[in-house]
């Protein structure tokens, strides 16, 4: 009989001590109480076999020069089809992203992403009813006028200005939890993967002013 997944455990393949510490802290905040780290792909596979985690975070090398890592992900996905896989990488390359997703990854997160973006990716990967893996370097569909509420537009406008969740909460007189809730709904409604992607889609759809086209004003048709 197949053992059930351990929803409190995550296996993290990350040879860099710096990134290991940073990512471990983030996944702990999401709710994982048991983090098993590995330095090699073989080690990670053994840990997955032994612990049956619900999430596998795969740290991709800075310059992947072959497709061996793609084959490795395919192997992991084939052996553990219910395991959610997220690739962490500095490589902002459409071919690498496409390979990761084809190989079974539920998401591909750039290391330069904000911590909240990784937390969001983990939550989304574990909630497949609201998550669709898409390349992180593609703008994809734009946000349509009317797809966001007035408050969500206000929050997103402050995100576009570079403000943190804490700063947005203070500016609007709401809690950080409420800010995160607004952003979570924004991501779901316009199909965005992270803060930067949400801003890009909103600007392309005319919901936020586009700095590269100052004459274009945002559309006013939106849900109150």
6-125: CATH, from 3.40.50.2300, 3.40.50.2000, 3.40.50.970, 3.40.80.10: 3.40.50.2300
Q: Beta partners for 56?
A: 11, 85
DSSP of 37-52:
EESSHHHHHHHHHHH-
Q: What is the pTM of this model?
A: 0.55
Q: Of the ranges 81-90, 184-193, 205-214, which one carries the lowest mean pLDDT score?
A: 205-214
- Categorize the per-residue pLDDT at 192 as very low, low, confident or very high, splitting at 50, 70 and 90: confident
Question: What is the Rg, in whole angstroms, of the alpha carbon atoms belonging to the chain?
Answer: 19
Is the pLDDT assigned to residue 74 strictly greater than 70? yes
Residue 73, pLDDT score: 92
Residue 80, pLDDT score: 93
Is the pLDDT assigned to residue 3 strictly greater than 60? no
Domain residue ranges in the chain: 6-125, 139-224
Name the percent of the chain lying above pLDDT 90.
21
The 10 Å Cβ neighbour count of residue 220 is 10
Average pLDDT over residues 174-191: 82
| 139-224 maps to CATH 1.10.10.10 | yes
Q: Beta partners for 85?
A: 56
Reported in sequence order, the residue ranges of the chain that DSSP labels E, i.e. its strands, are: 6-13, 34-38, 53-59, 84-89, 107-110
Is the pLDDT assigned to residue 121 strictly greater than 80? no
Q: What is the DSSP letter of 206?
A: T
């Amino acid at each position: 009989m197949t053992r059930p997944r351990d929803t409190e455990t995550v296996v993290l393949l990350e040879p860099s001590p710096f990134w290991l510490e940073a990512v471990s802290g983030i996944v702990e905040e999401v709710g994982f109480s048991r983090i098993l780290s590995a330095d090699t792909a073989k080690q990670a596979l053994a840990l997955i076999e032994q612990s049956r985690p619900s999430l596998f975070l795969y740290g991709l090398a800075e310059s992947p020069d072959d497709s061996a890592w793609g084959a490795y992900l395919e192997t992991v996905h084939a052996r553990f089809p219910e395991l959610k896989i997220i690739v962490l990488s500095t490589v902002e390359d459409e071919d690498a992203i496409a390979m990761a997703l084809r190989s079974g990854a539920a998401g591909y997160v750039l290391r330069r992403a904000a911590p909240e973006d990784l937390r969001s990716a983990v939550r989304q990967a574990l909630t497949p009813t609201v998550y669709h893996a898409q390349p992180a370097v593609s703008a994809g569909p734009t946000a349509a006028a009317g797809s966001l509420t007035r408050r969500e537009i206000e929050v997103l406008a402050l995100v576009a200005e570079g403000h943190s969740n804490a700063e947005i909460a203070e500016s609007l007189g709401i809690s950080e939890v409420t800010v995160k809730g607004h952003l979570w709904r924004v991501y779901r409604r316009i199909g965005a993967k992270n803060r930067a992607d949400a801003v890009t889609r909103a600007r392309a759809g005319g919901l936020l002013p586009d700095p590269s086209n100052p004459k274009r004003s945002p559309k006013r048709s939106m849900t109150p």
